[in-house]
Structure 1
Amino acid sequence: MTSYELASPGVVAEKFQEGVVVLNLESGDYYDIGGRTAPLLDILEAGACSKSLSQALDLREPGVGQEMHDTIDQLVGFGILRPVPATVFEISDDVCQRILDGGKQFHLEAHSDLAVFIAADPIHGLDAQTGKKSK
């Protein structure tokens, strides 16, 4: 059974009140993640089995499980997430409600307009290859 985690170290994320901004350090692309996708990331990173989560969501709102899988496929395709073995198979009502409370849809928006700046980041002093702070 599968869960997912952030594809670190090449991907970094910062949580905000409204959602999450994810940066792929290799491509320079960044992603605005909100709606139901933001809590989904937390729940998957906690080890939730995606199949169990999908089934539990569908019991509460038919069709949401497939939307969730489509969103995960996009996140994997963009290199944001990678599969890992699941550790949580029992999905509580509270977990499902966190996702459903995120709004009416899963939100993932890709941007590439900062890619040219990733190679040289004088403000944060990140090494373009490793994504770590330069000395």
Structure 2
Amino acid sequence: MTSNSPLQPTLGELFATLTQQIQSLLRGEVALLKAQVKEKGQKMGLGIGLFVGAAVLAGVAGLVLVATAILALALVLPAWLAALIVAVVFLLIAAVLALVGKKQLDAANQVKPAIKDNIQQDITIVKEGLK
């Protein structure tokens, strides 16, 4: 029993309306996301700039502390030996950090995102909802 009454839309018209509404919803969500990201980016810009400035100054202070350590050791050892000892200590620290970082990267590579499974699950839910 199909009726061409203007008050009862056809199945095709219902699907067309549903498609348009889904597209409008997705466009709206994307627009909202863009606006939120833009606003957050603007607010974070100054904070990030200040953190970068602080990091640069902390780096300079770290270099001064390294020079201080070398000069302090140079009071009891030859200057070249003091510099060598400080350099070796930093190389050892760097090696430890590199090994820990490599372990973290290896662990992260073992985690697989389930994007494909999530999309298939969403499609299944939509299909079941249309039945």
TM-score interval for Structure 1 and Structure 2 normalised by the shorter chain: under 0.3
- More strand per residue: 1
TM-score (norm 2): 0.22
TM-score, scaled to structure 1: 0.21
Structure having the higher helix fraction is 2
